[in-house]
Structure 1
């Protein structure tokens, strides 16, 4: 996410400002409560204002008590300061997507796993954060700063924030930079607000390596949900189990002003239900709406590739993204998930939609078995596109000519089976670190007879019709996280 991130969404809903990749690791961190400074003097029955404020913060039912992070070790018996709660994480992911049958060296329909048969440094991701922690009178504040280097950064830019500084296979991208506050306003459980750059709040599979069950992505997470947004999101806690989300932002992977794609705002609207049925059921229903096309002029390269600009009319042509995600925990070790995604774009008259089912079974402490099945429809063939240059995706966002190829209107089927293995032989020597190995077998198939796989298009004819109906890949990544 997982919120392209569902982990980011869980952090937002729970009032915890954690980087998505760190969420699961932080759950196992120390649970020491907030320690008030001093104790009431028997000669002065009323505590000092400082002690009173901190005791109030400790008992606030809508905020987690102050906890030490993993960067500092507070002295025993000494009161925690706000900065003792700083959390740092570093994750390294490398992998390979094996496809012996490709004639292009690429895997069609994949962003991050586009290079076939090539060992790739996908990401080195580092973050420093602070969970939303009480500061008194029901208020709380936290923050997240995170950045990534590697081949994945080609597809996770925010235009105007370092985009284009590196142009090769390995690039860098800031991925999160937001301030998070809890406000005890209006509703019984208050409002949480995030402001800044953040992951999109939709999708079951997130950009950070450990924010998804597989190395590869499903079609919906790559091609429908927003990756990065810059703006403000408010989560209003209507009840203990229900939240209302409203947000305004600059659009997918863009910022405001001259680095925006057009002059109109976009935003989120949705509801979430969590911890239903004694904690077994969670439901997210979220939409993202607004003009997404570029209002610049169409530009043409010397090779004949066009840019994505369509002029001023882009300001009034809407794009609609919708996501319904349902998670049910059958037992503590077995869970299922179902997701429906939809996209409509007025500018290109495109429609795309898909349904994905997931199964996750913790066979043991060291091994989790995962399975995923998806059906995805691209009504025009223009949504599922392969960006062929290292700067193609970035250029498509910033209105520069870009190279690509795609398929005719296609209904895609995809089945993936894999596992996450955390070998104790290695991990018992890593201290706070965790090593995870994730092999998978994936089969993609055109269900309506088109042949989009294992071949490439050209600038004169970017639509692939002479490939294969199936694509079989053997993928594996290794993730080291601290």
Structure 2
């Protein structure tokens, strides 16, 4: 059996799963995520209401008011709504080691594009309040979150401070939304989120602990929406089934001059929660609408072009689809499988991929994670390596941007790593917690192209003179409060 076939088999069988952070980027019916050891992700607030919660008034769909971590109310004094404020801070730094790169870049990566460079990826702070009863079956909460670091280069929202810092380390607002529960229409009501929020698709989220590895899979970087500004409604059709509808301005854009075109976009999907005695969660969700920029094409003196294609962008659709299933084999072992698809009428691009994960809590302080992925870029136009710190933001703002890409390629990647939470350190950190995640990853072209470890130029943007594989070693440390 050839190396190509061995790699393909490994990617299909390697793993499968994660614990419940299958909805990591921002679960369709939740504004929380779960870390590899099954504890709430500190970058997100308490989970939204489910039928298992009961508040002081006996409402089964809303949790009772609880004190947050920012205040210590006096004993015996009734809690007020503002006593439930929650604040979190997370700091992530790491290094991506690739001894064989000739470009200084890891091809096919957004956040981990810099090879052999220690990087402050993110300082992320949030202020939130869980959805809490305000009477008569209604509840309200909110989330405000900001990020500073190298990851902010790839997580801007146009019209919200983009470009104010243009170096390796930038800042970005990542969440600013109001969350409302209503008792309307369905037995368990309808939840609304309005404002800026993470995209609802994908198994790997932007916050450091909303994913099992330091590195991302191809689908998380190149298919799923990162940020959206709009309104999402989650209709609880039953205790186990939700219907998701949303309308927004598009991926990482807002409205008017900060939008990519004059047409709305939106979500449609379903989520099935806590099936098979709480062991299985499934969601199927799509994001649809024109995503191309309707501005004119601008060419820089160096020869780089902007992404604008004129008024035709208003009518050229992009389709994203995500099917995700997570199964908890035991309390310590979970598996997950995800399939994603993208089609863009404007660029005539198609891409699709399948990822599988396995997560095993070997000890309370140690989790083994395995990921296998096969990803097909049918045209070579999806997997682009942005060549400067502002390239991605400029592509969204319809400014000339530098990049290089590959021939149509079937990518395979196999990643093995651990999440180690050293108890001998954490017991001295009070409310803080340290997580260290080493990983080893092999990326390979499964159809004979050579896109790795080499860069392109403005006159030769498509790379095929590199290597057909990329073996790299990554390590990050995450301190969360």
Normalising by structure 2, report the TM-score: 0.92
Tell me the SS of whatever aligns to 2:443. Answer: strand
RMSD: 1.9
Contact 1:335 1:361 in 2 (8 A): yes
* Residues 263 and 314, structure 2, Cα contact 8 Å, conserved in 1: yes
Deviation, structure 1 residue 7: 3.5
Aligned residue runs from structure 1 range 318-333, under 5 A: 318-333=317-332
The SS at the match of 1:100 is: coil
Cα separation, partners in 2 of 1:456 and 1:25, compared to 1, 3 Å:
closer
In structure 1, how many angstroms separate the alpha carbons of the residues matched to 2:43 and 2:305? 45
- Determine if contact 2:337/2:354 at 8 Å carries over to the other structure: yes
User: Once superposed, which parts of structure 1, at least 4 consecutive aligned residues long, lie more than 6 Å away?
Assistant: 1-5, 19-22, 26-29
Instruction: Write the distance in 2 (CA, Å) between the matches of 1:19 and 1:279.
Output: 16
TM-superposed CA distance for 1:77, in Å, is 1.5
Q: Could you tell me how far apart the structure 1 residues matched to 2:43 and 2:466 are?
A: 45
**1:39 aligned partner:** none
Change over 3 Å in CA distance of 1:373–1:381 after alignment to 2: same
Q: Structure 1 260/449 Cα, relative in aligned 2: closer, same or farther at 3 Å?
A: same
SS at match of 1:234: strand
Aligned match of 1:44: none
Alpha-carbon contact 1:3-1:202 (below 8 Å) kept: no
Greater mean deviation of Cα atoms: 20-29 or 312-321:
20-29
Shift of 1:432: 1.1
In the superposition, relative to structure 1, how do residues 358 and 179 fare at CA in structure 2: closer, same or farther (>3 Å)?
same
- SS state of the match for residue 310, structure 1? coil
Give SS of 2:363's match: coil
Q: Secondary structure at the match of 1:24?
A: coil
Asked if 1:23 is matched to 2:22, the reply is no
Change (3 A) 1:26 1:221: closer
Post-superposition CA distance 1:226-256 (Å, at most 9, x none): 0000000000000000000000000000001
**In the alignment, is the contact (CA less than 8 A) between 1:2 and 1:211 conserved in 2?**
no
Tell me the alpha carbon deviations over residues 187-215 of structure 1, each in whole angstroms, 9 at most, x when there is no partner: 00000000000000000000000000000
Equivalences for residues 163-182 of structure 1 within 5 A: 163-182=162-181
CA radius of gyration, larger in: 1
Instruction: Tell me: CA distance 1:168–1:423, structure 2 relative to 1, closer, same or farther (3 Å).
Output: same
Q: What's the offset of the Cα at 1:24?
A: 3.2
Provide the C-alpha distance between the structure 1 equivalents of 2:252 and 2:71, rounded to a whole number of angstroms.
34
Q: Which residue of 2 aligns with 1:340?
A: 339
**In structure 2, how many angstroms separate the alpha carbons of the residues matched to 1:69 and 1:360?**
30
Checking the alignment, whether the CA contact within 8 Å between 2:191 and 2:235 is kept in structure 1 is yes
Offset at residue 6 of structure 1 (A): 1.8
Contact 2:19/2:359, CA 8 A, preserved across alignment: no
Q: How far 1:4 moved relative to its partner?
A: 10
- Structure 1 pair 306–8 and aligned structure 2 pair: CA distance change class (3 A): closer
Determine if contact 2:45/2:128 at 8 Å carries over to the other structure: no
Aligned to 2:217: 218
Partner of 1:35: none
Matches for 1:129-168 after TM superposition, within 5 Å: 129-168=128-167
Q: Does the aligned pair in 2 maintain the 1:5–1:207 contact within 8 Å?
A: no
Write out aligned runs for 1:28-177 (5 A). 58-177=57-176
Taking the TM superposition and a 5 Å limit, the aligned residue runs for 1:74-473 are: 74-473=73-472
Residues 157 and 394 in structure 1, CA contact (< 8 A), matched pair in contact too: yes
Determine if contact 2:182/2:191 at 8 Å carries over to the other structure.
yes
Which residue of the partner structure matches residue 7 of structure 1? 24
- SS of residue paired to 2:229: strand
SS in 1 for 2:41: helix
CA distance in 2, matches of 1:343, 1:354: 9
Q: Are the equivalent residues in 2 in contact too, given 1:4–1:199 (CA < 8 A)?
A: no
Quick check: 1:67–1:85 contact (8 Å CA) kept in 2?
A: yes
* Superposition deviation, residue 80 in structure 1: 0.6
Q: Any idea what SS the aligned residue of 1:339 has?
A: strand
CA distance in 2, matches of 1:27, 1:201: 14
Structure 1 residues not aligned, in runs of 5+: 30-54
CA deviation map 1:27-79 (0-9, x unaligned): 999xxxxxxxxxxxxxxxxxxxxxxxxx9754110011111100001111111
How many residues are aligned here? 454
Structure 2: runs of 5 or more not aligned: 1-17, 47-53
Find the aligned partners of 1:66 and 1:277 in 2 and give their Cα distance.
30
